[in-house]
Structure 1
């Protein structure tokens, strides 16, 4: 079994900090994963979330529509 923070074989898509090399949250595609776990989002604590391209697309659509704008407002 692969360690949870092992990113070997993952194709990087985006980094959500990019100003350092501190293990910022990143978005990857795992071409070897089953389709329902192909999109990988890692955090700066070494954890990961895996989802399908459809699930990720839904998240992107919600963000684009503004449906998630209120999440950060306190």
Structure 2
């Protein structure tokens, strides 16, 4: 799994199992453009700026990502 040392956990998505659910972190030591970290259950990670993450959240709030959600 990805090394999570020094990351501040913000949220775990799912969390109803013990399979390594995707998680959202802040990396205070990272450059500003890589401070937000999303990990998946395969050990991969995506890093982005707070502005990029804010844009993603805004689009989700507007319903632009609803078609991606599956029941």
Q: Which residue of the partner structure matches residue 7 of structure 2?
A: 10
Counterparts of 1:20 and 1:34 in 2: how far apart (Å)?
Answer: 32
Report the TM-score when normalising by structure 1: 0.87
Question: How far does the alpha carbon of each residue in 1:47-67 deviate from its partner, in whole angstroms, 9 at most, with x for none?
Answer: 000000000000000000111
Q: Which residue of the partner structure matches residue 38 of structure 2?
A: 41
Secondary structure in structure 2 of the residue aligned to 1:56:
helix
Counterparts of 1:18 and 1:49 in 2: how far apart (Å)?
Answer: 19
| Displacement after TM superposition at 1:18 (Å) | 1.1
What number of residue pairs does the alignment pair up?
70
Counterparts of 1:72 and 1:20 in 2: how far apart (Å)?
Answer: 19
Unaligned runs of 5+ in 1: none
Matched, 1:71 2:51: no
Report the TM-score when normalising by structure 2: 0.91
